Structure formats: structure tokens, C-alpha cells
Structure 1
Amino acid sequence: MATAKPEAMKYLQQTHKKLWTRSQFGTDSKVDYVTNNLAKSFNNWIKEEKAMNIDDLMDTIRQKLLIKWNTRKKVAKKFVGKILPHVMQQLGEDSFNLDIEVITEHDGVAEVCAKGGTRFRFVVDLRNRTCSCSAWQGSGIPCKHAIAYITSIPGEKLEVHVDECYYVAKFKATYEGAIPSIPDKSMWPDATHGFFMHPPLLKSIVGRRKNRYKGAVEGGSKRKSKRHECPICHELGHHLYTCKTRSPANIAAMEADR
């Protein structure tokens, strides 16, 4: 790119140099991944309704949100404790069989590395909830280096160091409101804009594909390669010029069959 489009490279370096790697993203939004999985999940969520008119599509999405909203409100009532259950489960799994040791610590700051000695070392700061691996800042959940330090302190609890966005109280507060209910489309008031908007003129096209192709790592089917059949011995996996039974007589018989 630098050779073909130097002006494009200059633009990216000046304007977007902090937007292309996860390590350079802000840590205010506590997420442990930044991918297009959200868009994929949403597209799969509405794949049966994608071909609807825009007003019908938006109304269907509103109904889907109502269902999800009420479901999560019911789930929130069952939660007990301070931290969401899936976060506590993750902490328990990450703290199992840790191969990390605390080299030194002072006033809430520790240096940790893998047991047995390694050139990779990390600095954990409990007061600021940071680790030099940046995973703790990005997700709000203590990373394995922080867990190793926290569990080495007698009486210290892991849930104390989890960001408050994972509190049960925050989850309940998110879904304590209500989305207003509205009647169906036939009862909506007529819009009076002083003009009529005609639908766009579209050419007839083939229906769109609803399901995306899945990769092999996602459980999709792998491409099946067809093994070649030798025209001389009719066995699979080799060509006629590597056939062990190749002879002038066999080649002549093959050509006669053709």
C-alpha cells in the first residue's frame, strides 16, 4: 500500500493509526474481543426477516427485543450474590492449575512470571486494576497474572477486583425498565408529509442467500476433493504416467476403449 497508494498510507497513519489493533483500543468499554461476531450474530438473528419491507423489519426487530428483554428480566430475578454467575465461573476456571508465580510484590504491585523461569514477565497493579498484558484493562475481569497475585494474598477475594459492569445489581438495573407496547401496523396513524414516496424501481433479481457459508473451524463442511482414477488400472489416487502397471499394451488397450 505504501508503494501503490502513498497518500492512502499517509491518511491511515495520521487518522486511524490507533484503530487497527486491539491493544490500541480504549478500555472504557469492557469487552474481551472486538470482532465482527456481533454483526454476524445479528444477521443470523434476523435472517428470516431480511427480505421484509423496512417498516415491517423494524417492527419485527422491536418484537424480538421485547422477548429478549423480558427473558433477561426474568433471569435477573434469579441471580444472587455480587458478581454475574458466568464471570465467577470464568474466574474459577482461570484460577485452576495456574502455572504462574509471584516473584516480588510491594504495596499492591507485583511482578509475576511462569513457573520454572521465563523471559516473559508481567506487572500487576491491584490498585489501578491493570496488568502489563492489557487483558485486565480491556475486559474488566482479572487476567491469569492478576489471579495468581490475588490468590497469593491471604483473605483476598477475586470478585472484589472485577469491574462493576459485571455486578448483578447493574444487570438488574439494565432490564428493570420496560419497552412500550404498540398495536399492529393496521392501527398506526397515517403519515401526512405533504407528498407521497413511491417505492424504488427495482429489477427482478434472484432471491438472496439467508445463511452464510461457515468456515471449517465453525463446523462448516470442508471441501471434498475428488480423487483421480487411473484410466489404466482404474484405481484411485494416481495418474496413468505413475501407474505401476503401465505398459505399451495397456496404453494401447486404454486408447482403444476411448
Structure 2
Amino acid sequence: MYSGKLACACALDGRNWMYPVAWAIFDSDSNANWTWFMEELKKAIGHLPGLAISTDEGMGFRDKNLAESYDEWTMNIKDMPLVDIVDRLRQMTLEVWYKRRSHGSKLSGNILPAVIQQLKAEAASLRNIKVCRCGLQTGEVSGNSQDMRPWRHVVDLNEHTCSCGEWQLTWKPCLHALAWITTEADADIESFVHDYYSVERFRAAYSGMVPPMIDKSRWPQVDPGFKLLAPLSKQGAGKRKYTTKANQEPGASEQHQCEQYGEVEHCEKGCTLHCPKKRKRCQAEESWKAEDGASWDGAS
């Protein structure tokens, strides 16, 4: 509503829920603004090994869902004034963290139950998978795709890797690894899932508390040392400006000066002579019509 930009850095928790990390509001999508935002973000989260940042322009399916979730989450507050929208974002984060902190206190076990349920459902859907062991925890897993094309991957249960690459990327056993794990009589899927999906880390993610605040009418008055004025409105691109000059002669038509070309021409309604480009185009069209008419006359 106020022509600003709401930028946000979001992550995913072990439950695959959106986790708001930081947000900011600036006037435009400029390099300077985004550089400032990323510098402040680095100060807030520090240097994290293995950190990957994806923008909403170059995101995958998972990241796209994350951006859509955030847009839906903030849909009803984007028309608020600047101070109110930031305060409401703080309240919304406070509420979300409290609900998930309460949810985490009721969980038991090592790995989040929702993750284990997902992996067991995937394992139950496996059909006609063959495991060929060449070591205690290393071997080949093969099968056929839906269009009956054969496939084969190398799985290492000790290193938690698969040649498909999915296990290394998501830190959860892929279908090929699950095919092997579930063939064991005492299979323990939890032991093959990364701590990222642990109940302990989920609780730690929401262990902090967003401080409550009184309403803005009781906030301390701060003198910034300058007077903050309303932002300048931006004129839409693609429109040429014309300045009008009053003519002293009575009955004379208005004079318009084209800012792009600097010429002053009269401008009646529907007339195209006020801009040199249009005048040249009109003259060319008239010449073409005259030549075309002459050729038709000669043909008749």
C-alpha cells in the first residue's frame, strides 16, 4: 500500500514448518538495500557451515512452497502503516513460537514422530526392490520405475549415502536406503536420520521467547535528530512529460514543450505534431499513402 518492500529470511524446522528468521522493510529492490539486509542477517545468525541461501527467483519446489507460506502468513497485514506492520509481525512470531514450544514439550523419542511416520509410509509403498549386499553395510539396491525402466543405486548405511544423492541432501534415508533398512529384522529407522530432525533440536529452535511489549502510545519518545518526511512519490515509467507555456496572444492555442526533445509545438486534440518522432512518422505515412494511391490509379 505504501510502495515499500517487505523482505524476509525464512528457514524450515525439522517438522518442515516455516521458521521466520529476520525481516526488514525498505523502499525498493535495489542492490544497496539487499546488501544491507544480507549484512544485517549475517550479524544476526553468524557463520553457519553448510548454509545455502535461495532467493525467490531461483528457488526449487520446496523453497517456492516456503515463500508462498510466508506470503499467505503476511497477507492480511501488508496494508498497515510501517510501525504497525512491524509490531504485528513481532506478535505473530511470538504466537507461533509459543504454540510450537508447547507442541515440542509433548513430544517423546529421539526423532520427530512426523518424520518417522513419513519414512515408514514411504517404506510401505516399496515393491519389487532387490538388495545385493557386498559388505555388512554396503551394497546395491535395484528395481524398476513406473514405466518399467530398470535402475540401480549404491547405498552405504555406515556413511549414510546413496548414489542418487537424496540422502546426503535431505539427511533422511531415501527410498533406496529404506528398501535396505526395512529388510533387516530389527530395523531402526531412527538411527539413520540426522539430528536435524530430532525432538531436542526442535525444542531448541523454539526455546527462545519474543519479549512482550506495551502499546505504541506508551513507547518512549525518541528524538532522532532530524525530521522524517513522507517518501517522494515515483512517477510511472513510459510516460512523457509535457510542460505548458502560456501564450500571450489572445485566442492562440496552448504551447507544449516535449521534455524529451525540447521542441515547442501547438497541441490540439488528436494532433500528432507536438513530438518530432510522431510528426516524422505521420509524414512518412502520408507519403506512403500518396504513392500507394498513385499506383492503384495507374493500375485501374
TM-score, with normalisation over the residues of structure 2? 0.54
In 1, the alpha carbon distance for the partners of 2:117 and 2:214 equals: 42
- The SS at the match of 1:98 is coil
Change (3 A) 1:64 1:167: same
- The SS at the match of 1:114 is strand
Structure 2 gaps, min length 5: 1-48, 53-59, 237-300
Instruction: After TM superposition, give the deviation of residue 84 of structure 1 in Å.
Output: 0.8
Shift >3 Å, 4+ stretches: 26-29, 115-119, 201-205
Alignment of 1:196 with 2:223, yes or no, is: no
- The SS at the match of 2:178 is helix
Q: Percent identity, aligned pairs only?
A: 37
Q: Which has the higher strand share?
A: 2
> Counterpart of 1:104 in structure 2: which amino acid?
R
In 1, the alpha carbon distance for the partners of 2:79 and 2:51 equals: 36
Superposition pairs of residues 153-192 of structure 1, within 5 angstroms: 153-192=184-223
> Counterpart of 1:54 in structure 2: which amino acid?
L
Instruction: After TM superposition, give the deviation of residue 203 of structure 1 in Å.
Output: 7.2
Change (3 A) 1:33 1:149: farther
Alignment of 1:41 with 2:72, yes or no, is: no
Residue equivalent to 2:137: 108
Instruction: After TM superposition, give the deviation of residue 204 of structure 1 in Å.
Output: 11
Q: State the structure with bigger RCO (CA 8 A, min sep 6), 1 or 2.
A: 1
Residues 27 and 138 of structure 1 are in contact (CA less than 8 Å); yes or no, is this contact kept in structure 2?
Answer: no
> Counterpart of 1:105 in structure 2: which amino acid?
C
Residue equivalent to 1:121: 152
Alignment of 1:138 with 2:163, yes or no, is: no
Aligned residues: 178
Structure 1 gaps, min length 5: 1-25, 206-258
Give the alignment partner of residue 72 of structure 1, picking from 95, 100, 104: 100
In 2, the alpha carbon distance for the partners of 1:148 and 1:187 equals: 61
In 2, the alpha carbon distance for the partners of 1:138 and 1:28 equals: 12
In 2, the alpha carbon distance for the partners of 1:105 and 1:56 equals: 63
Instruction: After TM superposition, give the deviation of residue 131 of structure 1 in Å.
Output: 0.8
